[in-house]
Amino acid sequence: MTTAAVSAMEERLPWFRDMDAEERSWIMLVARGGIDGFASWILAADPAHTSSTAIFDRAPRALTRRVSLLQTVELVRVTIAVVEEEIEALLPEEDREVLRSAVVEYSREVAFGAAEVYARAAEIRGAWDSRLEALVVDAVVRSETDETVISRASTLGWVAGTKVAVAVGRAPDLAERGLEDVRHAADRHKLGLLAAVQGDRLVLIISGATITDPSSAVEAAAWLAPHFGPGPVVVGPLVDDLVDASTSARAAIAGHRAAIAWPEGPRTMAAADLLPERTLMGDGHARRALVDEVYRTLEHAGGDLLATCVAFLDQSGSVEATARAVFIHANTVRYRLKRIQEVTGYSPMDSRDAYVLRLAITLGRLTAGRPAPARG
């Protein structure tokens, strides 16, 4: 019967013919185990106590990775069909009906057994994938991203060469359930995702074809924000690839720590929106960003923009008072305020932006006035 079953597989299943000798030998073991198991099952005093998964014990665990559940169902179907054909050909007519019923019942038990084997294998793979994913996220957070980490991420299905942003927020109360929910949400929005819970925070590494600039990265994180715990979700700067994601993670973590100082801010925000709070918490990267990207940009722009900005802030945001203080027309003040927003991205007429500009100017002056280090 085993020989007949294997011949039928070769004839009816094209994918079986394409398998190598080792894989075919595994399937022959399973087929032989199934036929022997049927004989043992039907002769057993209490068939209910006969294991339906025992026929898969003869094959190595690699079988579940090389042969899909659908293919296994096809193998079982062909084997059962061959057994039924052999019953019709070899056994007396009065025994056939009983054996047909027995084959149907046994094949049902084998189908359940196959589902159990594949479910158990999926659980093991899922647990291993979760541990591997946590290791990748931890390496990114610790700035230890190397080729090994990239290889591990690719094993998890990560697509290289796409822009990446890291989002950090409070972990949900049911961490495992939260991870599953956020993965499903990422799939719905067609986002690449690596996620891990680290203590009381949830760290997401996000990528996708729609993430092309910082605002789209924040928007993508906002889609996933309902699956965080309560509190702000901070998104680090967009980087070119996973190997650079530690830069985004560092800013996102610093921003999440500092977000408590700006409770009026949006639920989901960029780490760059928290530069003042991060600076006051001692974040050197944020301090340098304010000096280099705001103060020095304003200083190098010329046109008395820096002096006008300082005067406008000193005059409590009054255009007319600023015009009198710097001896220019009010329309010139308005033009310069617009130019300040164009070159720095911050408007002196917005209270939050004015706070950023004031702090950047203070830090820039402190940096400019710092004496040069003594030469040894």
At 51-69, the pLDDT tens digits run 555 666 655 555 656 677 6
Query: What's the DSSP call for residue 166?
Result: E
Mean pLDDT for 297-314 is 92
Residue with tokens 């408590």: 260
Mean of all residue pLDDT scores within the chain? 84
Q: Do 141 and 194 form a contact (C-beta atoms < 8 A)?
A: no
Q: In the prediction, which pLDDT does 129 show? A: 63
Spatial neighbors of 126 by CB under 8 A, at least 6 apart, are none
pLDDT, residue 226, reads 93
Q: What is the pLDDT of residue 376?
A: 38
Domain 284-368: CATH superfamily, name plus number: PucR C-terminal helix-turn-helix domain (1.10.10.2840)
pLDDT band at 72 (very low <50, low <70, confident <90, very high): confident
Dihedral of alpha carbons 289, 294, 295, 298, sign: positive
pLDDT at 297 over 90: yes
* CATH architecture of the domain with range 159-272: 2-Layer Sandwich (3.30)
Q: Where are the alpha helices (DSSP H) in the chain?
A: 2-12, 14-17, 21-43, 63-66, 69-90, 93-141, 147-155, 175-188, 214-224, 245-258, 275-280, 284-290, 296-301, 305-314, 319-326, 330-344, 351-368
In eight-state DSSP terms, residue 167 is E
State residue 269's pLDDT score. 96
pLDDT of residue 266: 94
Could you give the percent of the chain with pLDDT greater than 90?
45
Compute the C-alpha angle 368/369/375, nearest 5°: 95
Q: Has residue 223 got a pLDDT over 90?
A: yes
Q: What is the three-class DSSP state of 52? A: coil
What does the domain layout of the chain look like in residue ranges? Answer: 2-126, 159-272, 284-368
pLDDT at 373: 45
Q: Above 60 in pLDDT, residue 138?
A: yes
